[in-house]
């Protein structure tokens, strides 16, 4: 473990030049005291590393020194596929491994290509998480990833919306998917393929028992088919609506992707008032009620009657809250001032 970290320190200095002890510690997720010990150990083995003191100082290698100890371990080679997703690699327990692999690769590149890699990183960044959501905690993700890789069955306790709320199953984990910042995994249960949300796992035990991965299993194709089927099953109803010109513009921002896509495909030419009719796919009347309220006065529901009545009742309550509250407040202030 320490030998791998010493090599990481050496490659950091070789690839990036002058670095402070704190910068090295942050990169390797160790303490500054550990960095001091590692620098001393490198010097004792003959590596020409020296300190520059004062403001803007740090550690660097003697000009021209380069190591050729850049061979990748098996685990480091596997982690390269997460090079564009450092946060995902960290959640999978591969953060430090990926960092070391990247350092080794850059150390092995000619200087011109190494500079090009730096230019790409400075100019392009991938943030896979969705907007306006807290990052889920996935304490079982690393263990699950190991089971997927080593083809071990797992026993999991899983929380779901339907009754019974908590279930226990033994499954064959076949693959893990990161979708808009949310982790899912595909597993075989008997003869069926099922998809689970990793954050909903209450408890997970990796079993000693191995399973045989299906030779024809394609994770990407399986996930795409499941996701499309999930949307079809989820949005089984329809609502007929009218949208103002501004409401049409706000569809991509205030509707879920499936609702927005269905609505945009059915928008009719605007009427004399500039309003356009459309058919929007809905999951349920209650769900559509909350989703369409986001559009406020820019949408009118025509069908189904149940949804229209539900929105009418909500609007009436809102009118009561906002129509009479100022009068009550004024009366209270007047009453208070006469005491």
77 lies in which domain range?
Answer: 2-123
**Quick one: how far is CA 197 from the chain centroid?**
12
Q: Is residue 187 part of a domain?
A: yes
Alpha helices in 169-284, H assignment, sequence order: 219-234, 245-254, 257-264
- Looking at the fold, whether 290 and 307 belong to one and the same domain comes out as yes
> What's the token pair of residue 306?
């149940």
pLDDT tens per residue across span 295-336: 999 999 999 999 999 999 999 999 888 876 555 555 555 555
Q: Is residue 280 part of a domain?
A: yes
d(C-alpha 272, C-alpha 98), whole Å: 60
User: Residue 276 sits in a domain of what CATH number?
Assistant: 3.30.70
Q: What pLDDT was estimated at residue 325?
A: 53
d(C-alpha 172, C-alpha 153), whole Å: 5
Q: What pLDDT was estimated at residue 54?
A: 82
Let me know: does 295 contact 246? Beta carbons within 8 Å.
no
Q: Is residue 14 part of a domain?
A: yes
Which residues are registered as beta bridge partners of 280?
Answer: 239
Domain end point (choices 210, 233, 256): 233
- Looking at the fold, whether 228 and 265 belong to one and the same domain comes out as no
Place of tokens 């993700």: 141
- Looking at the fold, whether 228 and 246 belong to one and the same domain comes out as no
Let me know: does 196 contact 158? Beta carbons within 8 Å.
yes
The DSSP-derived string for 144-170 is HHHHHHHTEEEEEEEE-SSSSSEEEEE
Residue ranges in the chain whose pLDDT is less than 50: 72, 77-82, 84, 89, 338-339
Count of CA atoms in the C-beta half-sphere (13 A) of 32: 7
- Looking at the fold, whether 222 and 242 belong to one and the same domain comes out as no
The region that residue 125 occupies, defined by phi over 0 for left and psi between -120 and 50 for alpha, beta otherwise, is beta
Burial 89-127 (b: 16+ CB within 10 A, else e): bbbbebbbbbbbbbbbbbbbeeeeebeeeeeeeeeeeee
Q: Is residue 333 part of a domain?
A: no
- Looking at the fold, whether 190 and 244 belong to one and the same domain comes out as no
d(C-alpha 70, C-alpha 106), whole Å: 9
Let me know: does 144 contact 157? Beta carbons within 8 Å.
no
Q: What pLDDT was estimated at residue 256?
A: 82
User: Residue 205 sits in a domain of what CATH number?
Assistant: 2.30.30
Q: What pLDDT was estimated at residue 272?
A: 92
Q: What pLDDT was estimated at residue 339?
A: 45
Q: Is residue 129 part of a domain?
A: no
Q: What pLDDT was estimated at residue 6?
A: 77
Q: Please tell me the total count of domains within the chain.
A: 3
- Looking at the fold, whether 202 and 264 belong to one and the same domain comes out as no
């Amino acid at each position: 473990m320490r030998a791998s970290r010493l090599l990481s320190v050496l490659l950091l200095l070789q690839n990036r030049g002058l670095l402070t002890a704190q910068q090295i510690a942050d990169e390797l997720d160790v303490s500054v005291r550990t960095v001091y010990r590692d620098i001393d150990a490198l010097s004792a083995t003959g590596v020409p590393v020296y300190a520059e003191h004062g403001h803007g100082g740090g550690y660097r290698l003697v000009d021209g020194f380069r190591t050729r100890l850049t061979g990748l371990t098996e685990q480091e080679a596997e982690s390269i596929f997460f090079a564009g997703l450092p946060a995902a690699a960290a959640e999978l327990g591969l953060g430090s491994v990926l960092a070391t692999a990247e350092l080794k690769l850059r150390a092995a590149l000619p200087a011109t290509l190494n500079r090009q890699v730096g230019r790409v990183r400075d100019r392009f960044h991938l943030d896979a998480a969705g907007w306006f959501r807290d990052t889920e905690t996935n304490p079982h993700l690393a263990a699950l990833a190991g089971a997927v890789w080593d083809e071990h069955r797992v026993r999991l306790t899983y929380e779901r919306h339907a009754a019974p709320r908590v279930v226990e199953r033994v499954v064959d984990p076949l693959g893990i998917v990161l979708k808009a910042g949310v982790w899912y995994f595909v597993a075989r249960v008997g003869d069926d393929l099922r998809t689970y949300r990793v954050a909903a796992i209450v408890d997970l035990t990796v079993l000693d028992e191995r399973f045989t991965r299906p030779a024809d299993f394609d994770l990407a194709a399986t996930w795409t088919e499941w996701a499309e089927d999930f949307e079809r099953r989820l949005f089984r109803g329809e609502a007929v609506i009218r949208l103002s010109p501004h409401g049409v513009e706000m569809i991509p921002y205030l509707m879920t992707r499936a609702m927005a896509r269905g609505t945009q495909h059915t928008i009719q030419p605007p009427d004399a008032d500039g309003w356009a009719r459309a058919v929007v796919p809905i999951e349920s009347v209650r769900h559509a009620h909350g989703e369409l309220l986001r559009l406020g006065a820019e949408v009118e529901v025509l069908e189904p009657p149940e949804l229209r009545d539900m929105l009418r009742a909500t609007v009436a309550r809102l009118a009561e809250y906002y129509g009479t509250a100022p009068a009550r407040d004024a009366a209270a202030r007047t009453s208070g001032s006469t005491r």
